[in-house]
Amino acid sequence: MKQLRRAVLSSSLALFGLLTASACDSGAVDNGDGAGAGPSVPGGSSAGSSSLGHAGATSGPGAGTGGSSVSTGGTGNGAGNSTGSSGASSGGTANGSGGTASTTGCSDTPPNNGDTCAHAVQYGWCSQSWLGSSCQQSCGKCSGGTGSMGGTGSTGGSSSGGSTGSAGATQGGGGQPPVLIDGKDGWATRYWDCCKPACGWKANVPGGTNPVSSCSQADQSLGGDYNSKSACDGNGPAYMCGNFGPWAVSDTLAYGFAAVNQGSDFCGRCFQLQFTGKSHNSNTDPGSQSLAGKTMIVQALNNGGVDGTQFDLLIPGGGVGDFNACSQQWGTSDLGEQYGGFFLACQKSNGFDYAKSKACAAAKCQSVFSGKADLLAGCNFFVNWFGAPDNPALKFKEVTCPAAITSMSGLHR
């Protein structure tokens, strides 16, 4: 059974009209006001505007284009004590100092944000203080010998010689992934309906891949029980787990999950969302303006009635849409607007004054999610890092999923 939802677009669109939007696994909601699809069902169709079924076809787009190529490089060529110059070519081999580098006492511990050292180099984290002693080898910080790692190039393709090689030129500095130069135009919405995600069914994920685990009403993982009915489908026992909310990696980078419309083979694919500082609804939204220069990487867990350029972000308190399992799971009817959640309700009660509406939404996060740490963190993300925007505009491109995301979802491609 398929159902279309009407997305009530926050702020501006709340005044000027309705837009069909958002969907989800089991009922994604349009950002600030997106509408979602229906409950997820195994290998069949969802009660939304696009099918959730599709028995995990392995054809179609792969895990993403990723960033710049990774170079393993070779041993360096040149004078033993040469300082060397940074290699400018992406994925190129190093032309550093000769000899064999000493890596005694040099570790390559992954970053404390759960990501990989390869991404630390690619995203320019090597020069940031928060990385600490992580990724010393990949970042070329090992001392001793006549060259870092024997002159091998680091990811991103650039390298330097000398006794303390560096990670070379970075792309999209400040800890962000490389800046998108060929991304497509898109926009973000928000929802959280507490339903089991579409990618929680075996029929919807690629062969050989485990689905996303669901949780009980008490937010306890159901583990490998992938056949439990969704709470949005006849009061089944399977709900969205509370830890699937977004989180900040740095001041300019965040990770999360979303509902998308990217074909039938969507589960587990990741996308880089680079915010433009504008709103899909208007050019004067302060929340969207605050996102300029910020980036999210999200993994697809749901599909449904969103359009092909829309990303319906999983954000607690973002609105339940047509299917509501949250009242039962959370034990409250204080959910804000059905399409738009806490923030749209606060906008309406505060005359769409941005500062007052944002403060109101922050207070709502605290009152509704008291004692629910994961949900509270995801809700606070919306008003803090995300800036409480109205359907922000963005550029997007499929990328390789960071390890921190796949370790959270358990969904690998």
Angle at 174 between CA 169 and CA 175, to 5 degrees: 90
- Reference 271, options 315, 301, 240; nearest CA is 301
Q: Which two tokens stand for residue 161?
A: 């010689």
Q: Tell the burial category of 359 from Cβ atoms under 10 Å away from its Cβ (0-12, 13-18, 19+).
A: middle
- Active-site pick, 115, 265, 312, 322: 312
Separate counts of helices (H) and strands (E) for the chain? 8, 7
CA–CA dist 406, 293 (Å, integer): 25
CA distances from 111 to 128, 129, 135, 359, 377 (A): 11, 12, 7, 33, 21
CA–CA dist 269, 62 (Å, integer): 8
> Is 307 marked active-site?
no
Angle at 41 between CA 38 and CA 45, to 5 degrees: 70
For residue 255, give the 3-state DSSP assignment. strand
Residue whose pair of structure tokens reads 């032309």 in the numeric block: 95
Asked if residue 123 lies in contact with residue 135, where contact means CB atoms within 8 angstroms, the answer is no
> Is 312 marked active-site?
yes
- Active-site pick, 25, 30, 115, 193: 193
CA distances from 97 to 84, 102, 149, 150 (A): 7, 13, 10, 8
CA distances from 23 to 7, 85, 261, 264 (A): 9, 50, 9, 14
Residue whose pair of structure tokens reads 């954000």 in the numeric block: 315
Q: Tell the burial category of 47 from Cβ atoms under 10 Å away from its Cβ (0-12, 13-18, 19+).
A: buried
Angle at 56 between CA 302 and CA 115, to 5 degrees: 60
One-letter-per-residue 3-state SS of 150-181: HHCCCCCCCCCCCCCCCCCCCCCCCCCCCCCC
User: Annotated active-site positions, please?
Assistant: 193, 312
